[in-house]
Copies of this chain bind each other. A is one copy, B any other.
Amino acid sequence: MPPIKPSPLLARAIDICKANNVRFTAVRQQVFTLMAEHKGAITAYELLEQLQAFDSKAKPPTIYRALEFLLENHFIHRIESLNSYLMCCHLGCEHAMQLLICNKCKKVIELSDPVIDEAFSEKASQFGFKITNKVLEAHGICETCLYN
């Protein structure tokens, strides 16, 4: 694997990994960088194809392991309704999350609204249900596409 293209974002991620004492290996950094450069959602196999430009022997487990690592460390999000993945705009911190996914331009707006989050948790607690994980994804048309 050739050296990874440096970037401020990557540098921050390296710091976070150092602080958390986890190994941010070459494959992981390369996948991180590919995700960071890709605006919007990307599928595992699209990512794999891109990774193979740097590492021709990369196989599905290569990419899925890297994605798993990035998810665990809160560097990326998984979009359930698209079977795809997205750079997290809060790099490395856990937080309430909602997504607005544009059907037309495919861009994704990442929200972190406590009102929506708590409304759901509150409602669940009325049923004695303890939420461990929320999937809050909306599809529609973004402002830009609406006027184009």
Contact = CB atoms under 8 A, between A and B. Distances in A.
Interface of A: 80-81, 98, 100, 102-103, 109, 111, 113, 115-116, 119-120, 123-124, 127-143, 146
Given A80-B80, A80-B81, A134-B137, A142 B119 contact: no
B139 A127 contact: no
Contacts of A113: 119, 123
Q: Which 5 A-B pairs have the closest CB atoms?
A: A128-B143, A131-B140, A80-B81, A135-B137, A131-B138
Contact of A132 (B81, B130, B139): B139
30 contacts: A80-B137, A98-B123, A100-B127, A102-B129, A103-B132, A109-B127, A109-B129, A115-B119, A115-B123, A116-B116, A116-B120, A120-B136, A120-B138, A124-B138, A124-B140, A128-B142, A128-B143, A129-B138, A129-B141, A129-B143, A130-B140, A130-B141, A130-B146, A131-B139, A132-B139, A133-B138, A133-B139, A134-B139, A135-B135, A135-B138
Given A129-B140, A132-B139, A138-B133, A100 B124 contact: yes
A124 B146 CA distance: 13
